Amino acid sequence: MQIPRVPSFRLRKQPLAVGLAVGLAAAMAIPTSANAVPAAITQHYTGTLADGATWVADVPANYNGTILLFSHGYGPLTAETQPSYAGDALLNEGYAVVGSSYSGITDWALASAVRDQFGALTALEKVIGKAKQTYAIGESMGGLVSSLANERNSGQLDGVLTTCGLVAGGVNLNNYEVDGMYALSELLEPEAGVRLVNFADPADAKAAAADLAAIAQQHSGTAQGRARIVLAAALLNMPTWVAGNPKPAAQDYAAQQAQQVQLLGGGLFDFLITARQQLEVAAGGNSAFTAGVKYESRLKNSGYLNEVKAAYQTAGLDLAHDLATLTRNADISPDPGTITRLKATSHLSGRLTVPQINIHTIADELVPVQHENWYAQRVATAGRSSLLRQAYTNTAGHCNFTSGELIVALNALIHRVRSGSWGTTTKPAALNAAAVAGGHGPTAFVTYQPTPLGGARTNPPVRWVGSRSEHATP
């Protein structure tokens, strides 16, 4: 079975066609011809911010006074106003929508994204006036952007909705991805010398991705190879259900393993590693580390232990031996200062300022649903759990939502902001019923609790010096 092409973090199925005006001041905007935009839109605006980021906005004829500030996901720095799956649903509901391209030298533009998003909002309000209410919507990496905007909010936002959000941040993302790639290389072809960090350029990253995919493909024909691929998938937090395939039963480990092998032998690495190369550029070097990681504990604390055990038992391999090998040979350390820099731009404190609802598919190969577990704990530690709700759809794939799921989640958020209480609005049954009552189309919300995010670690490895510890900066 062929794996579908893996989309980018923002899943641009049908990008909106936007005209970007170059050289405009932040407060200026140019309405475009009505023929260039969907019929539901009365005015379409574009502009350029002081740092060079572009912004784009659509204001419908039935504008209801509420602005939705959309943060796009990882990919080319192009302004967008809404997720691709929204269609005209948000505009038909009367919302004005606005978003910026972000500015920067890489697609991992977290250093400027929040500033540029607030800049886009200000630019639009200078044209159409102050909104009655403003809600941020963030997709994938944009979910991280919108969550950061929540924490840095100074009255500009009333609420936040994230969809398939990368809410565990960049440092965690880099670490668990390196864990899985290291396991695949070390256990299947250690002599191959596949580069896992410190990529010279995008071409270097693509070559490494091709090497890893080839290793997975070459070893997928034996039980021993499949077992080690499944271990690598577990360390990567890869789902056991791939879009386009039947959903495996909870104890059907063979079917789960087959779908993970499908993922790792397909085009997944090409996206993951080229994105990590861009992250390295943004951080000024490699921020990932395996040194000091105990891989026995790493697997034990994930939600994949029983599946991996089953694969190893079928293959007749010693799981403890392989995990010990990974722990013993782990030697990747971060470059000096990279973790600090990456945390400054893409790490969440959990200190919400306004209500936030996150929605996630239960099987997401690019931003694993386990991100939501880590984030909920972060928010709880900050004492802000009353402001957060999370909802899940019984679907596979990254950002694989319907417009109805987006609308009813947004309505639940608006209810919380206006009433001061979530009530039962974010319960799966309530969300699905609201979609039916409102004629918003199909939804698939389901009761779900994500397992812990395996490989979550945001502090550099520690080395002991005398009676005190120091962060290692090799």
**Ordered per-residue pLDDT tens for the chain, 474 residues:** 333 333 333 333 333 222 223 222 332 343 333 333 454 568 999 999 999 999 999 999 999 999 999 999 999 999 999 999 999 999 999 999 999 999 999 999 999 999 999 999 999 999 999 999 999 999 999 999 999 999 999 999 999 999 999 999 999 999 999 999 999 999 999 999 999 999 999 999 999 999 999 999 999 999 999 999 999 999 999 999 999 999 999 999 999 999 999 999 989 999 999 999 999 999 999 999 999 999 999 999 889 999 999 999 999 999 999 999 999 999 999 999 999 999 999 999 999 999 999 999 999 999 999 999 999 999 999 999 999 999 999 999 999 999 999 999 999 999 999 999 999 999 999 999 999 999 999 999 999 999 999 999 988 765 433 333 333 333
Asked if 181 and 212 count as a contact pair (C-beta separation under 8 A), the reply is yes
Q: What pLDDT, on a 0 to 100 scale, did the predictor assign at position 462?
A: 55
| Alpha-carbon gap, residue 21 to 53, rounded angstroms | 11
For the chain, give percent helix, strand, coil, nearest 5: 45, 15, 45
Q: What pLDDT, on a 0 to 100 scale, did the predictor assign at position 41?
A: 64
Residue from 389, 443, 367, 372 nearest 11 by CA: 367
Superfamily of domain 30-168+348-446: Alpha/Beta hydrolase fold, catalytic domain (3.40.50.1820)
Cα radius of gyration (the chain)? 22
Residue-range domain boundaries for the chain = 30-168+348-446, 170-342
